[in-house]
Amino acid sequence: MPKTDLIIVGSGILGLATAFLAYRQGRTVRIIDRSARPVGSSIQNFGHACFTGQADEIQPLAMASRAGWQEAAAATGIWAAETGTFAPAMTEPELHILQEFAAHRGSDQVQMLDAGEVADAIGNPDLHAIGGAHLPLDMRVNPREAAPALATWLAREGVEFGWSTTVTEVAGGTVSTNRGDFHADQVVACPGLGLSALFPAIADAHEVRICTLVMSLIDRPQHLPSGFAMFTGTSMARYDGFAAMPGAAALREDLAQREPELVDAIANLMVTDIPGGLLIGDSHAYDLSPEPFIDEGIANLLLDRATTLLGIEEPVVLQRWLGQYTNSTNTNLILERPDDQTTVAAVTSGVGMTLSFGIAGRILNDLPLDSGAGTGASAESEPLAETPATFTTSTPTADEVVMSAR
Ligand SMILES: Cc1cc2nc3c(=O)[nH]c(=O)nc-3n(C[C@H](O)[C@H](O)[C@H](O)COP(=O)(O)OP(=O)(O)OC[C@H]3O[C@@H](n4cnc5c(N)ncnc54)[C@H](O)[C@@H]3O)c2cc1C
């Protein structure tokens, strides 16, 4: 096989975003994945790009990622909706944290809504919210289509794909696989859940484990508006941007009193509308080797709370699944260079769709590659030194609703 500038291990959104930006810089790229198509975390999620909810210090990275999604959508035709997120406030503590967040970030990022406006936005006249907010910069993509469509586009443009090929070792520009060795000037490994098998020392250093999340897809009733994403109080307690507000402690107390079952399930109750229906989730459980079973009690709890907010009396469940993503107890992002031709990147919390293009830009900025001969069009990216590789260090437990990002 001819040597390429770059080999990327993993065809999830992080690997594909890196491949997209590298290709646009004029690099020759090969992508190797053990699956026959993308089926990892990147297709199991809400498709919610929650730029606004990220911590203040992550905003430059989040906005670079937003520009990357826009660039990829324009170039490849993948669906990326810029309709923002709606957050109804059902209680005073929820309203209070939204008001604090709006005052802190300004109206470009957070627009307060009255009770009628938020009820209209999510299509439930009987919502009984006391107010709410719109986060206009957030985006939605279709998680079932985004990564596969990006891979198809890259393949059509001439990027080499080695599907059904398991990487067994990466070192010094050589990628060893069950189908032989491949060579490149630089290798970027984005193996997601495969991190522990491929780089056990890095995974162990970050206490990497697997987070499992109960998810459902339901039919969207005709009366609901199409094209919205909805956060709830549990989301406000969870995302670092909101959780840094002074009202977060009161919100956590309120949730513990009002929704102890959601708190026990470490829920981030939210809904996104995608072309196939409404995605509803999610709970969080952490283990080195999780059991594959979906807890019907948790699935029904999430479904009940979400459909109550949306005024859906008889939800039609189309699918349920137990999503998985890589989690660490001490960081939200692993970005390491075990040798001078190898980069290892893994998002270790539930923000990989949101930050993928921003992280990809940072990875490429840090590589000792020639300046590139491509179109010159590529997402604005943050130099590695200017944004922290480690976002937060909070350790999620069932007692603690506020956790790292999502
Ligand atoms: C239920 C759920 C909800 C979520 N919601 C959101 C959300 O709303 N917003 C958000 O921003 N994020 C969300 N996330 C997180 C997001 O999905 C992940 O952070 C992101 O998809 C990680 O992308 P990735 O490319 O690192 O991993 P993956 O998509 O898992 O890709 C990794 C790839 O590496 C390949 N691989 C692994 N090991 C090897 C090997 N040895 N050889 C060859 N190939 C290998 C795998 O086959 C896989 O294709 C959610 C996740 C879940 C599960």
Q: So what's the pLDDT on residue 371?
A: 58
Residues 278 and 177 in one domain: no
CA distances from 67 to 90, 110, 139, 341 (A): 33, 19, 11, 27
Q: Are residues 115 and 191 in the same domain?
A: no
In short, whether 325's Cβ falls inside 6 Å of ligand 1 is yes
Nearest ligand 1 atom, CA 326: 19
For residue 296, the CA-to-ligand 1 centroid distance in Å is 24
- 58 and 153 in a single domain? The answer is yes
Q: How far is the CA of 91 from the centre of ligand 1 (A)?
A: 34
Judge whether 131 and 98 are in contact, CB under 8 Å. Answer: yes
Note whether 56 and 151 are same-domain residues: yes
Tell me if 37 sits within 8 A of 218, measured CB to CB. Answer: no
* pLDDT value of position 2: 82
Distance 353 CA to ligand 1 centre (A): 8
In this structure, the answer to whether residues 225 and 371 fall within a common structural domain is no
Is 214:282 a contact under the CB 8 Å cutoff?
yes
The domain that contains 363 carries what CATH number? 3.50.50.60
Query: Is the CB of 13 within 6 Å of ligand 1?
Result: yes
Q: Whose CA is nearest to atom 26 of ligand 1?
A: 192
Ligand 1 centroid to Cα of residue 141, in Å, is 15
CATH number at residue 288: 3.30.9.10
Q: Indicate whether residue 53 lines ligand 1 (CB < 6 A).
A: no
Residue 71 falls inside a structural domain: no
- For residue 118, the CA-to-ligand 1 centroid distance in Å is 32
Where in the sequence is the domain holding 230, given as residue range(s)?
Answer: 83-139+208-328
Residue 352 CA: nearest ligand 1 atom is 19
Give 36's contacts (C-beta < 8 A, 6+ positions apart).
163, 164
Q: Is the domain of 112 the same as that of 231? A: yes
Does 282 sit behind a cis peptide bond, omega within 30 degrees of 0 on the bond before it? yes
Task: Give the distance (Å) from ligand 1 centre to CA of residue 263.
Answer: 25
pLDDT block averages, 10 residues each, the chain of length 406 = 93 98 97 98 97 97 98 96 97 98 98 97 96 98 97 97 98 98 98 98 97 98 92 96 97 97 98 96 97 97 98 97 96 96 97 98 89 44 39 34 32
| The pLDDT of residue 372 | 54
Nearest to 157 by CA among 271, 14, 19, 257: 19
The answer to the question of residue 397 being in a domain is: no
pLDDT in the model for residue 369: 76
Q: Indicate if ligand 1 lies below 6 Å from the C-beta of 45.
A: yes
Please give the pLDDT value at position 401. Answer: 29
**What atom of ligand 1 comes closest to residue 165's alpha carbon?**
43
Residue pair 267/234 in contact by the 8 Å Cβ criterion:
yes
274 lines ligand 1 (CB under 6 A): no
* Best of 44, 353, 355, 363 for a ligand 1 pocket test (most atoms within 8 Å of beta carbon): 353
Shared-domain flag, residues 149 and 130 = no
Looking from the CA of residue 347, the nearest atom of ligand 1 is 19
| pLDDT at residue 332, rounded to an integer | 94
Q: Which residues contact 127 (CB under 8 A, 6 or more apart)?
A: 88, 115, 118, 119, 309, 311
Give the total residue count for the chain: 406
Residues 356 and 244 placed together within one structural domain of the fold: no
Q: Which of 16, 32, 37, 41 gets mutated to test ligand 1 (max ligand atoms within 8 A of its CB)?
A: 41
Identify whether 259 is part of a domain: yes
Q: Is the dihedral of CA 126, 128, 133, 139 positive or negative?
A: negative
Q: Do 59 and 148 reside in the same domain of the chain? A: yes
- CB of 148 closer than 6 A to ligand 1? no
Judge if 240 and 214 occupy the same domain.
Answer: yes
Domain count, the chain: 2
Same domain as 242, residue 128: yes
* Whether residue 129 is found in the same domain as residue 257: yes
